Amino acid sequence: MEIIVCVKRVPVTQEVDLAINPQKNDIRKDMLAYVINEWDNYAIEEAIKLKEKLGGTVTAVTIGSEDDEEALRRCLAMGADKAFRIDPGNLVMDSFVISKILAQFIKGQPHDLVFTGVQRDDLNEGAVGTMLAEHLGLPHAEVVRRVEPAGNEATIRVELEGGTDEVSKIKLPALLSIQTGINEPRYVSIMGIRKAAKKELNVAGVDTLGLAATDLQPRTMVEEIFLPPETEGAQFIEGDPATIAEEILRILKEKGVSI
């Protein structure tokens, strides 16, 4: 089974104060820590699990700068066989451009399954997977939380709302957007990442892929980013933990909760 997994590195923005850049079209990222996108981490784990069961090759691909190779090294340490980085240079990319670049790369690689994460943690767009499937002409499914390949098809489980799952059969090759919680991603040690340094990591400029200028033209543009509108928000309870606890218990009583 040949599996290609599209991954990316995203900034950690929880429990961090974010600053808007001078152009007001993004945040300042120079001081932020980066991690592999959470959904992609589950996607790479799922690919490696399938490879361990069925044999084959797992290839990780990212579009990004040299710093983004960190995400690929992590995939290699987890058990991916090959990694590719496509360097976009200064290209401005929206989901459409990203999906075009990935499609062009994947066309030249053998694949029975292509995985993406459901969405990227920073912008939550969730559009690349389905666009990519359209460019490649592959059957696809979104928000997948189980994959069981058998022969030339796979049984999949898609997570809908309210605790309902939808079970389908999908023909291979196919593209699946993987949901968090589908597996338990394995732990990667610093040692493991060092060992994986010997594995193949290829780099190519986006200009080497033979894409047309219209493929690299974004169809949407961020005009401005801004702070959320003011809401009333929470009334903050101040004081030491004992005072806070007392106040919480008072509120519970006031709201008619019997303890």
Q: Which of residues 112-151 bind another protein (CB under 8 A)?
A: 121-131, 133-135, 138-143
Asked if residues 206 and 86 have their Cβ atoms less than 8 Å apart, the reply is yes
Name the residue nearer to another protein (CB basis): 4 or 76. Answer: 4
Name the residue nearer to another protein (CB basis): 66 or 230. Answer: 230
Q: Which of 167, 191, 212, 213 binds another protein (CB under 8 A)?
A: 167
DSSP 197: G
Query: Does 160 contact another protein by CB under 8 A?
Result: yes
Q: Which residue has the tokens 């152009």?
A: 23
Name the residue nearer to another protein (CB basis): 55 or 163. Answer: 163
Between the CA of residue 88 and those of 64, 85, 123, 163, what are the distances in Å?
Answer: 6, 9, 19, 39
Query: Does 161 contact another protein by CB under 8 A?
Result: yes
Query: Does 105 contact another protein by CB under 8 A?
Result: no
Stretch that binds another protein, among 49-57, 85-93, 189-197, 222-230 (CB under 8 A): 222-230
Q: Which of 148, 165, 200, 207 binds another protein (CB under 8 A)?
A: 165
Please choose, from the candidates 152, 154, 158, 167, the residue with its C-alpha nearest in 3D space to the C-alpha of residue 130: 158
Please report which helix (H) or strand (E) contains residue 4, including its range.
strand 2-6
Q: Which of 65, 168, 202, 208 binds another protein (CB under 8 A)?
A: 168
- Contacts to another protein from residues 43-102, by CB under 8 A: 95-96, 99
DSSP 206: G
> SS3 of 232, please?
coil
Cα angle 124-126-127, degrees, rounded to a multiple of 5: 135
From residue 226 to residue 245, what is the string marking binding to another protein with x (rule CB under 8 A)?
xxxx-x-xxxxx---xx-xx
Stretch that binds another protein, among 47-55, 67-75, 160-168, 188-196 (CB under 8 A): 160-168
For residues 177 and 116, give the distance between their C-alpha atoms in angstroms, rounded to a whole number: 5
Residue 57's φ and ψ, nearest 5 degrees, are -130, 140
Please choose, from the candidates 190, 114, 189, the residue with its C-alpha nearest in 3D space to the C-alpha of residue 147: 114
Query: Does 152 contact another protein by CB under 8 A?
Result: no
Residue 58's φ and ψ, nearest 5 degrees, are -115, 125
CB of 108 to another protein, least distance (A): 20
CB of 92 to another protein, least distance (A): 12
- Contacts to another protein from residues 180-209, by CB under 8 A: 180-181, 184
Query: Does 250 contact another protein by CB under 8 A?
Result: no
Query: Does 106 contact another protein by CB under 8 A?
Result: no
Pairing status of strand 9-11 against strand 140-150 = unpaired
CB of 215 to another protein, least distance (A): 11
For residues 180 and 167, give the distance between their C-alpha atoms in angstroms, rounded to a whole number: 17
Q: Which of 17, 30, 66, 67 binds another protein (CB under 8 A)?
A: 17
